[in-house]
Structure 1
Amino acid sequence: MFKDTQTSTATAVRPKDSLGCLSSQLHKDLELDTGEFKFLRKCTRDDKTSAIDMPGSDRGFLIGVSLKVGHRRRIFSGHRWTAHDFDTGSVYIRDFAEDYRAELQGGFDFLLVELSRAFITNTCYERSGTNTPGLSSVAGRKDPILAHLAQVLALTLDSQSEASPLFVEQLGVTIGTHLLDRYGNAPSQSNQKNRRLSGLHEARAKDMLLAKAQENVSIEEIANACNLSRSYFIRAFRETTDRTPHQWLLERRIDRARDLLKHSDSSLSEIAVACGFSDQSHFTRTFSQMVGTPPGSWRRQVRR
């Protein structure tokens, strides 16, 4: 049975977050909102049992990916309930349009993605020609792809100051596309012929990416300039260049950094800022990963 969250005198109600969890029980509560996508990390302090009771709304869909083992929840529907155990990498999908009542047993650590109904509708129409979107409700099912993406998102939430908006947008589109492929109620047309950008659209996209290399460039803005949806644009850009927009731009930033390291006396911190990195440490990590050696060492080698 559900526990009463009110005091015996009904003088106060313990505060809950936007997903119906008791805020006082959350050890970690992180959020990154991009509009059509919202990424969250919810981790409890202990193994206390708690309840969620939320009426339906038009918020869209919620996808939860468990980052640890040991959580169990009972989901109620009318006078019946079903129990689901969560292992690392287990997922659940919740349609906010439906009333949701559940009893949460044991501690949990979830990476959550909230997708707007507009995003699901637009992506569904683009892929299948239907504007009646939907995702199957699942709970406790293993999904290795979402488990991998959740680990990436967890690191992104922990280092939001270094998170590229371009990269975050691409993650949201990738997750939404995977969800429709695997759990969508409409037929997929993902087996259609691969689509490529026209020469004009490729040049326009690259020019916009480079022009905004030091700003918070938006895929939506670039896709709109090409009269394409975000998900279509990302797939077409990758098919055309063998890179996602984020990967392509990151390579151009590193190319610019190498040129400055070789031909200027600018400090590493100055080069980091000039190439659009959040700080010197972010620049050093990225350069080392992509080039195979730290920028300071690379500069000394090429100047011998």
Structure 2
Amino acid sequence: MTEAYGRRLGEALRVENAPAIATRVLRTADIAVTEVRCDNPLPQMRGSIQREDAFLVGLHLRDFPNREHWEDGRGTQVSDLRAGESCLYDLKRGPGALLDKPYHTLVFYLPRAALDAIADEANAPRIGDLSYKPGAGVNDVTISCLGNLLLPALSHPDQVNPLFLDHVLLGVGVHVAQTYGGMRPMSQPPRGGLAPWQERRAKEILRANLKGSVALKEVARECGLSVGYFSHAFRRTLGMAPHQWLIEQRVALSKEKLRDDGLSLSDVAADCGFSDQSHLTRAFRQTVGVSPGAWRRTLQR
């Protein structure tokens, strides 16, 4: 689905290379994000997207002055879009725009099924249409922050932590449902964390997948919880998100491996589930405060 969605959106917006990542953190639908960038658009180039029951959220990473926008074949307004602003689009209404200037945008794809699943997990009524002004930019700090977290993942998909991806894209979906769809849970979820058996089971699964990847929904299912509640309960119990805990376990394992002088840093990275030596170095430095090479030299001294 990831390549197909990125290619489909790229073709609609006249972009040859449109890297995309997707997650099925929800059981019934995918949430995706695609990066589209065009530095040399053709004069009077127009972009339009096939109709379907889904929404797009575009995070603009570059100023786009005097953009013409339309829905259902009718012009809506001409607006100046600033870097950091977001726009919402209802694909049922056939949105389109005149793309006659360079642009750089992150586009989040939220099908109706994903929003329904988010509402179901929150024990909330399903939402109708999103509230937005067609073609207008919104200064949504949450979308901007979450989108910028995903830029490195789009540049280096081989280094993507699936748990991190699940966490961020689900956060985008929940934020949109609440902020623009008016979603409100009918009852507040319990404030407690994981039960002891759930904590043990979650740690077992995550440790068993240190060298590979595991989807957040699989861990939540093993604990008998929805993805949203599991993430909340895990953080409350252990003080960090599941993907952060997994990285700390990989770093802890790498410390043991670094005691073996016969292993190169590349070997250690591969043995501990990192995509390469630079990935190990970044995670190790963030967790320990020094590079793995410096830590090994300290041991030797």
Asked if these proteins are the same fold (TM beyond 0.5), I'd say yes
- How far the C-alpha of 1:105 sits from its partner, in A, is 4.3
Q: Does 1:303 align with 2:297?
A: no
CA distance in 1 between partners of 2:116 and 2:145 (Å): 25
Residues 15, 38 of structure 2: 8 Å contact kept: yes
Secondary structure class of the residue paired with 1:19: helix
Cα gap change, 1:193 to 1:83, in 2 (>3 Å): farther
58, 63, 76: which one aligns with 1:64? 58
Deviation at 1:97, TM superposition (A): 2.8
1:84 to 76, 79, 83: 79
Please give the alpha-carbon distance, in whole angstroms, between the structure 1 residues aligned to 2:203 and 2:187.
25
Runs of 4+ in 1 over 4 A off after TM superposition: 20-23, 77-80, 188-193
Q: 1:190/1:297 Cα in 2 relative to 1: closer, same or farther (>3 Å)?
A: farther
1:183-214 per-residue CA deviation (whole Å, 9 max, x = no partner) reads 12333469655342211111111110010111
Asked whether the 8 Å contact 2:130–2:181 carries over to 1, the reply is yes
Change (3 A) 1:165 1:39: same
Residue 9 (structure 2) aligns with: 19
Match of 2:40 among 24, 46, 50: 46
Separation of aligned partners in 1, 2:262 and 2:218:
35
Farther-moved stretch of structure 1 (158-167 vs 74-83): 74-83
Q: What amino acid is aligned across from residue 176 of structure 1 in structure 2?
A: G
Aligned with 1:179 (options 153, 168, 176): 176
Q: Is the 8 A contact 1:93 1:137 kept in 2?
A: yes
Matched ranges for 1:189-228 at <5 A: 193-228=190-225
Higher RCO (CA-CA < 8 Å; seq separation 6+): 2
Give the counterpart of 1:95 among 72, 75, 90: 90
| SS of residue in 2 equivalent to 1:97 | helix
- Mapped contact 1:69–1:88 kept (Cα < 8 A): yes
Distance 1:134 1:243, change over 3 A: farther
Distance 2:131 2:196 in 1: 39
Deviation of 1:254 after TM superposition, in Å, equals 0.6
1:169 aligns with 2:163: no
Structure 2 residue matching 1:157: 3-state secondary structure: helix
Distance 1:101 1:279, change over 3 A: closer
Number of the residue aligned with 1:294? 291
Residue in structure 2 matched with residue 31 of structure 1 by the alignment: 20
Task: Give 1:106's aligned residue.
Answer: 101
Once the two structures are TM-superposed, the CA of residue 32 in structure 1 deviates from its matched residue by 1.8
Contact kept in structure 1, 2:234 and 2:240, CA below 8 Å: yes
Distance 1:169 1:278 in 2: 18
Partner amino acid for 2:8? S
AA aligned to 2:68 is R
Please say if residues 254 and 268 of structure 2, whose CA atoms lie closer than 8 Å, have aligned partners that are also in contact.
Answer: yes
For the residues of structure 1 that align with 2:45 and 2:85, how far apart are their CA atoms? 20
For 2:99, what is the secondary structure of its paired residue?
strand
CA distance in 2 between partners of 1:107 and 1:255 (Å): 45
Equivalenced residues, count: 287
Give the root-mean-square deviation of aligned CA atoms: 2.5
The change in CA–CA distance for 1:172 and 1:102 in structure 2 (over 3 A counts) is same
Instruction: Please report how far the alpha carbon of residue 239 of structure 1 lies from its aligned counterpart in structure 2 after TM superposition.
Output: 1.6
User: Using the alignment, how far apart are the partners of 1:148 and 1:132 within structure 2?
Assistant: 24
Match of 1:9 in 2: none
Change (3 A) 1:113 1:275: same
Does residue 74 (structure 1) correspond to residue 69 (structure 2)? The answer is yes
Q: CA deviation at 1:55?
A: 4.8
Q: How does 1:270-281 map to 2 (within 5 A)?
A: 270-281=267-278
* Deviations 1:31-86 (CA, angstroms, capped at 9, x unpaired): 2233412120001132543223445213x221110011124232235645222321
Cα deviation 1:232-290 (Å, max 9, x = unaligned): 22122112211111000100111111122235642211111111001112112221222
- Please, which runs of 5 or more residues in structure 2 have no aligned partner? 1-5, 25-29
Tell me how far 1:22 sits from its aligned partner: 5.1
When residues 107 and 101 of structure 1 are mapped into structure 2, their CA distance, relative to the original with a 3 A threshold, is same
- Give aligned-pair identity as a percent: 30
Describe the SS at the equivalent of 1:185.
Answer: coil
Partner of 2:27: none
What's the TM-score once normalised by structure 2's chain length?
0.86
